[in-house]
């Protein structure tokens, strides 16, 4: 009678380990950039929220000057954002001079974590 053994040969195991190694070499570098990409996306999202809050504030303030917040520079837009500007974010101030109501400032820059930046627009509101 023949004794039959079951299992993998050494060559088969080495091939599987080599394939796993190749996949790891390809996949691991892609995961290192995920946090940088996430922080850039978060900064862009906060900048979009600032633009939206500014537009809403402008509409409310145009209807009734006692409502909403006055905006004379980029940093004033943060007061229109519900909950304020998140921790770790700063706005580069750009004043409007001379300013007319409804003038849009396109030079507002939001600085986020790890030197991520995003632009947003602000509208002068007296």
In three-state secondary structure terms, 27 is: helix
Q: How far apart are CA 104 and CA 89, in angstroms?
A: 22
- Cβ neighbours of residue 88 closer than 8 Å, sequence gap 6 or more: 112, 113
Q: 21 vs 29, 55, 112, CA distance in Å? A: 13, 52, 36
Q: Report domain extents, the chain.
A: 32-123
Confidence band of 31 (pLDDT split at 50, 70, 90) = confident
Model pLDDT for residues 43-87, shown as the tens digit of each residue: 999 999 999 998 999 899 888 888 888 888 888 889 888 888 999
Q: pLDDT at position 89, please?
A: 94
The arithmetic mean of pLDDT across residues 13-33, rounded, is 89
The model's pTM is 0.71
Share of residues in the chain with pLDDT > 70 (%): 88
Q: pLDDT at position 47, please?
A: 93
Q: How far apart are CA 87 and CA 7, in angstroms?
A: 57
């Amino acid at each position: 009678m023949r004794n039959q053994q079951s299992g993998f040969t050494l060559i088969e195991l080495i091939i599987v380990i080599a394939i796993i190694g190749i996949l790891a070499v390809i996949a691991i570098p892609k995961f290192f950039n995920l946090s940088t990409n996430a922080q850039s996306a978060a900064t862009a999202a906060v900048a979009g929220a600032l633009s939206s809050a500014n537009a809403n504030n402008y509409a409310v303030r145009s209807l009734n000057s006692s409502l909403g917040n006055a905006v004379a520079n980029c940093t004033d837009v943060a007061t229109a954002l519900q909950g304020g500007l998140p921790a770790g974010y700063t706005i580069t101030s750009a004043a409007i001079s001379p300013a007319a109501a409804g003038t849009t400032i396109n030079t507002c820059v939001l600085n986020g974590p790890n030197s991520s930046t995003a632009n947003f627009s602000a509208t002068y509101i007296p």
